[in-house]
Amino acid sequence: MARRLWGDIDLYNDGVVPTGPVAIGTHRHSQGSHTLTVEIVGANAKAQEAYMFGLDQVILTKAKN
């Protein structure tokens, strides 16, 4: 079952720069494999129409009960 973790976010920059951490909140998951999907739904007017996206890392931590 797909679940949206946050709303639209514009990450446009005229160069390659880190955004810093982007928190997606706390979520419960069942055991097994899970897929993280990024959907590009548009582009900033200043961007080349290449619809590029970069992801450097995903850090998962166990939530405290």
Q: Per-residue pLDDT tens for 14-31?
A: 888 888 888 888 888 889
Dihedral sign computed on CA atoms, order 48, 49, 50, 51: positive
44 found inside a domain: yes
49 and 43 Cβ atoms separated by less than 8 Å? yes
The predicted pLDDT at position 45 comes to: 92
Domain region containing 49: 35-65
CA-nearest of 7, 5, 8 to 44 is 8
**What residues of the chain score a pLDDT lower than 50?**
none
Chain Cα centroid distance, residue 38: 6
25 found inside a domain: no
The predicted pLDDT at position 39 comes to: 84
d(CA 13, CA 19): 10
13 found inside a domain: no
Could you tell me the pTM of the whole model? 0.60
56 found inside a domain: yes
User: How many folded domains does the chain comprise?
Assistant: 1
55 found inside a domain: yes
The predicted pLDDT at position 1 comes to: 63
